[in-house]
Structure 1
Amino acid sequence: MNNTNTVPLVAILRGVLPQDVLAHIEVLIAAGFTTVEIPLNSPDWQTSIAMAIARFGDRIQIGAGTVTSANDVAILSQMKCSFILTPNTDPAVIKAAREAGMQTCIGCHTASEAFVAIQHGANALKIFPAGELGSGYIRALKAVLPKHIPLYAVGGITPANLAEYLRAGCVGAGLGGDLYRAGQSPEQTANQARAFKQAWDACQKR
């Protein structure tokens, strides 16, 4: 997730169906996105992830979210998934992903959870739910964490508040319901993606 050629905005396609996934990823790429997450609580996620990797895996990073077990990590590794995001801090999942050579963005809420994730080798931390915690919480947490650990704000991030979380110390964000909701059209995804990308570009010019 930290490659220099990627924009650190993670498009979360929660609930996407296999017959829809490619069309939505196509418009995300057109909008400038380079990282897509398909959560494992989506219908038939194995098919969607396999299709996405086969079509776009050489162009962007395709990862899995809501990963909660080492068994799922093993399946995702066989599928050549680029990275995992978790909703919680589970050392066994971190260990399995590290052994598989996969990048990890580990879900945490408290400083204690963050340090457990770091101690077990997390590549990045997913601060969730960022929108409820607020950017002040991110700033305070960032102050006590090792400077080399990237933070991603996830949950409640919009084009209007993205800059606030980047200023607080996040390197990027996971974009959920304000980017994609299950059943929406690719055109709607494209419009939302452009809004987020414009917000990101505006932050880079400051």
Structure 2
Amino acid sequence: MSPENFITQWQQEPLPLVAILRGITPAEAAEAADILLECGFRYLEVPLNSPSPLESISLMRDVVGKRGYVGAGTVLTVEQVDAVAECGGQLIISPNCCPDVIRHTSKLGLISMPGIMTPSEAFSAIAAGASALKLFPAEHVSPVITKAFRAVVPREVALLPVGGIQPNAVQMRSYMQAGANGFGLGGGLYQAGMSMALLRERALAYQQAWRECAE
């Protein structure tokens, strides 16, 4: 998906957050997807270093249908892009900037969100066809640094801090005021083995924090 099309769609999202479900199992996948949809999430990521991730992605796609997007994180190779596409995945999210992975994702018409930490990586990703840029890890990409990225990265390219984002409207607002377009949520939202009741509780906390941030 082109960055222009992605950001147009993304800016219409009532909850512009990506749920990162590292460590989720196929047994939990469908229920987790249903809970997250109920809480307003529409972008669900299963990192490939989770147990049987492709099976979980396929199960989540059955639940989500046309109501959202499901895909993989920690995608490092072109071969992994193909595997995710074959099981119905729509998102290809990486911790790094690999132009070959980005180009192949774009060729398949999927959403590409590579991880970047420097201006050189940012523009390399954009040139390769990234749909959006994942500012990772956000612990090292502060709002001040995000503002510097936003000054040079084209406005049609979404910037999404990922890493250490808490259900805290003050933290979220500081990034949004610096030019971020949303967030990816990892351990603050989901941890392997947690109950589905706790996932719902955390998802609702992020929903509330976003609403306060957006006010």
Aligned-pair identity (%): 39
Q: 1:130 aligns with which of 127, 138, 142?
A: 138
Match of 1:25 in 2: 33
Give the drift of 1:87. Answer: 0.6
Match of 2:196 in 1: 186
Instruction: Give yes or no for the alignment of 1:166 onto 2:186.
Output: no
Q: Unpaired segments of 5 or more residues in structure 1?
A: none
- Equivalent residues of 1:132, 1:156 under 8 A apart: no
Matches within 5 A, 1:27-106: 27-106=35-114
Give the drift of 1:6. Answer: 5.9
Question: CA offsets, 1:45-93, max 9 Å, x none?
Answer: 0110111112222222112111110001111122221111111000100
TM value normalised by structure 2: 0.91
Q: Distance in 2 between matches of 1:54 and 1:27?
A: 14
Structure 1 runs (4+) deviating above 4 angstroms are: none
TM value normalised by structure 1: 0.95
SS at match of 2:180: coil
Change in Cα spacing, 1:40 to 1:96, as seen in structure 2 (3 Å) is same
Match of 1:116 in 2: 124
Which amino acid in 1 is paired with 2:208? Q
Q: Distance in 1 between matches of 2:13 and 2:182?
A: 14
Which amino acid in 2 is paired with 1:73? V
- Equivalent residues of 1:163, 1:199 under 8 A apart: no
Match of 2:186 in 1: 176
The structure richer in helix per residue is: 2
- In the comparison of the two structures, how many residue pairs are matched? 205
Q: Distance in 2 between matches of 1:52 and 1:168?
A: 33
Greater mean deviation of Cα atoms: 132-141 or 110-119: 132-141
